[in-house]
Structure 1
Amino acid sequence: MIEAPGVPLTLIAFVAVIGPLVFVHEMGHYLAGRLFGIKADAFAIGFGREVAGFTDRRGTRWKFGWLPLGGYVRFAGDMNPASQPDAEWLSLPAAERAQTFQAKPVWQRAIVVAAGPVVNFLVAILILAGFAHFYGVRYAPPTVGEVVAGSPAAAAGLKAGDRIVSLGGRSMESFADIAQYAMIRPGEAVRVSLERAGQPVNTTVTIGTLRQRDRFGNEYRIGRVGIGSPKVEYRPVSLIAAPAEGAREVVAIVRGSLDALGQIITGRRSVEELGGPLRIAKVSGEQMSLGWPSFIGLIALVSINLGFINLLPVPMLDGGHLMFYAIEAIRRRPVDAQVQEWAFRGGLAAILALMILVTFNDLGQMGLWRNLAGLIG
């Protein structure tokens, strides 16, 4: 077991992950706003009291807050969380009002809001494309190389040479697809469609549960079917084809995130597995201590999750704004301001409650509650 990195390295790694990703996310909003002629009053990295900053010739205040856990772009006219016009907005001179966020058509506002998560996905695509180009892509067909004795696969009657067509109705294009599908479904019974000697066969396998510890002592509960991989080959990826490979990896990770979220909502996965800033900081330090490839890979993963979370249809998040814009486009008029205000209040309460929950989980994962129980006992 490797000794966990110290607090200084953990803090440096955390800032090195979150800071640039928040910056590019907000830069996406900012550049899209610039494209449509929207004036930005402020571009902030971090929250709380400003510790450094400057004002550019366009009147935008670029500033750094003392708490590096997020950021924001405040466009001209953003006078409330729902970005709804009010009396103060109506009193602006016509030329100034034309440069505000609210003055733009709904499709332009939607692009500005969506640009932040889109940039996060693009960052991840570029990183994963670079890995694919320089290291190649590991590939093995979705074929059973061997069956582990006493495993779920053996109990389900799987045999070496079987080609798995689908699991739970989802097609399997490679052996990695099988492993990724099973990994987040420990204990679940899933339908298996396969080909054996050219003939279709259907069966059901109950995915096994395996508890593993990584080199830092973190414990994980993962699913395993109990089959071995066939021969693996490393396929080179050209510079032209690399972005498509990166995009494919991003889609696979987002699909896994959707699966995990669905399992939490339906109660098949514990909310204790949700992590927050403290866990990200811990993992950031661990991955930085393993070397730059591991650390850059983590940046790609966090960037994907930042984009994914922001697109959830929760008021206060980008996805919540997009949901209201979609309703506005369909109804041809905005949702009532009071309805939006209450929705954003509810969204803020939900986000704060989630932050409390994930912080509680993070502290438990770090052993705080176990240590306190030992002291009390």
Structure 2
Amino acid sequence: MNFLELFQTLGSNLWIYGGTFIVILSILVFVHEWGHYIVARLCGVRVESFSIGFGKEIFGWNDKNGTRWKFSYIPLGGYVKLYGDVDPASAGHTDNIEGEDGQVRPMTEEERQSAFFSKPVWKRASVVFAGPAINYIFAFLLLCGLYMLNGKPVTPPLAAAIIGGSSAEKYGFEPHDEIVSIDGQKIYSFEDIRTAMMIALDEERHFVVNRGGQNVDIYAKPEKVEQEDRFGFKHSRGLLGLISPRHAIQISNILEIDGQEFDAEDLSGKQEALKSRLGQKFTIVIARGSKTDTLIVLPVRDQNEGLFNAESEESSILFVAAREGNEFVKYGLIGAAREAINQTYVITAGTLEALGQMITGTRSATELGGIIRIGAVAGDMAQQGIIALILFTALLSINLGLINLFPIPMLDGGHLVFYAFEAILGKPIPEQIQEYAFRFGLFFLVCIMVFANLNDILQLVL
């Protein structure tokens, strides 16, 4: 899909793509800023304003504590302005305030006590840390509730088949191998394998597989491939070559069995050849659109009884997995919490590793996406249904929390670094140094945002 086609798609579905993106972003911004707000109030800090969006106010109201709650015209973020700060980024403070008569005067002692800058460093750090922390808590609650109320589809971590010529064949994987762990990390589902390989690219990983009741160690490097999604955005990932147990094969798509070619219409001939090989390892060649794939399979009779009944709906299907390919698991509170924590860890670790690969050059920095890419994915998730949308919201919330913890001035993590130095040195970093750091941080973040959004446009145009 080129830029014009994407523009037409987004334009014709403006409310789905743009609306979904703005709603999700506004919710996550509210959650993040509410974390700052509520901890600031608990620490005795007065909050002057709470804004969803930037720029000129659309509408708002004042609460009994004097906080101005408002919606602003640019819906790409938000802020909480704390009493005594010169701006919403807490990039400095002032002892002077403007009175009701418009005159600037020094703060009274009572007013200073409710100012952010007057609080002990641990309270200021708590207020700053609360934003990213509540993004993580929000994602945890979303995932936990989803796993309890709806459950989680789990595909067993089994190799139903091996792609011929792939890394999996090269390094000795066999059909029906069960992946127990990768680099010491316990594997619970086939999705865990995909995630690990997506991050691994072409770096070696240590696999422990269960083969016939015995654990086998395999050291393997996936193949690094570049894939293009339907919008035209390119992504690098590692491809191992294992086929998920969710997959079954239409016999009409089989072109060869163990080197013997068959006509596409020769269904009975292929059925007989397959029946005679059940319980054995052999190769098949299947048509996949205009391409062909070679698979190493070991189908078992228990899953292929339909081959022996011409009237069965499954007589034209070859099941290559040794057992059912999808399990739907509903969790209790403790199980759901454990799964939510594990998923949060996997997303965080995967994001950090991918960013590290971009820095070292292992992964292309062109995969860093901006507003267009996020909006496109958000719209896709909305079309897939509420469950996909909740999962996407949790993913974005985790990433928002993580990014804000990066030690970059202007972000929460940058403030926390300054507070750490203040706690160690016993005095704040000089304001002039902080000012230069915040300027650099602002310049850096603007460059990253421009780069990410140019990435989106250039990948679609070129």
Match of 2:70 among 63, 69, 80: 63
1:191 Cα offset (Å) = 4.0
Q: Which amino acid in 2 is paired with 1:304? A: I
Count residues in correspondence.
368
**1:97 pairs with 2:112:** yes
The answer to whether the 8 Å contact 2:143/2:394 transfers is yes
Match of 1:305 among 399, 403, 410: 399
Provide the C-alpha distance between the structure 2 equivalents of 1:37 and 1:334, rounded to a whole number of angstroms: 20
SS in 1 for 2:30: helix
Q: Which amino acid in 1 is paired with 2:130? A: A
Identity of aligned residues (%): 41
1:247 Cα offset (Å) = 2.3
Q: How does 1:160-309 map to 2 (within 5 A)?
A: 160=175, 162=177, 164=179, 166-168=181-183, 170-194=185-209, 201-212=216-227, 214=229, 219-229=234-244, 231=323, 232-309=326-403
Match of 2:32 among 25, 28, 45: 25
Provide the C-alpha distance between the structure 2 equivalents of 1:358 and 1:117, rounded to a whole number of angstroms: 22
The answer to whether the 8 Å contact 1:4/1:286 transfers is no
Provide the C-alpha distance between the structure 2 equivalents of 1:239 and 1:141, rounded to a whole number of angstroms: 22
**1:154 pairs with 2:169:** yes
1:122-156 Cα offsets, whole Å, 9 max, x none, are 22112212221233234456554443322101101
Which residue number corresponds to residue 21 of structure 2? 14
The answer to whether the 8 Å contact 2:178/2:209 transfers is yes
1:338 Cα offset (Å) = 2.0
Q: How does 1:364-375 map to 2 (within 5 A)?
A: 364-365=458-459, 367=460, 369-370=461-462
Provide the C-alpha distance between the structure 2 equivalents of 1:234 and 1:12, rounded to a whole number of angstroms: 31
**Superposition TM-score, scaled by structure 2 size:** 0.72
The answer to whether the 8 Å contact 1:192/1:204 transfers is yes
Q: Which amino acid in 2 is paired with 1:301? A: L
State the structure with more CA Rg. Answer: 2
Question: What is the root-mean-square deviation in Å for CA atoms of aligned residues?
Answer: 2.7
Provide the C-alpha distance between the structure 2 equivalents of 1:144 and 1:8, rounded to a whole number of angstroms: 41
The answer to whether the 8 Å contact 2:60/2:69 transfers is yes
Q: Which runs of 5+ in 1 are unaligned?
A: 371-377
Provide the C-alpha distance between the structure 1 equivalents of 2:338 and 2:215, rounded to a whole number of angstroms: 32
Q: How does 1:78-97 map to 2 (within 5 A)?
A: 78-79=85-86, 81-86=89-94, 88=96, 91-97=106-112
Comparing 207-216 and 347-356, the one that deviates more: 207-216
Q: Which amino acid in 1 is paired with 2:329? A: R
Which residue number corresponds to residue 354 of structure 1? 448
Provide the C-alpha distance between the structure 1 equivalents of 2:413 and 2:68, rounded to a whole number of angstroms: 26
Query: In structure 2, do the counterparts of structure 1 residues 352 and 176 end up closer, same or farther at CA, with 3 Å as the change threshold?
Result: same
**1:336 pairs with 2:343:** no
Provide the C-alpha distance between the structure 1 equivalents of 2:176 and 2:385, rounded to a whole number of angstroms: 38
The answer to whether the 8 Å contact 2:162/2:174 transfers is yes
Provide the C-alpha distance between the structure 2 equivalents of 1:148 and 1:196, rounded to a whole number of angstroms: 18
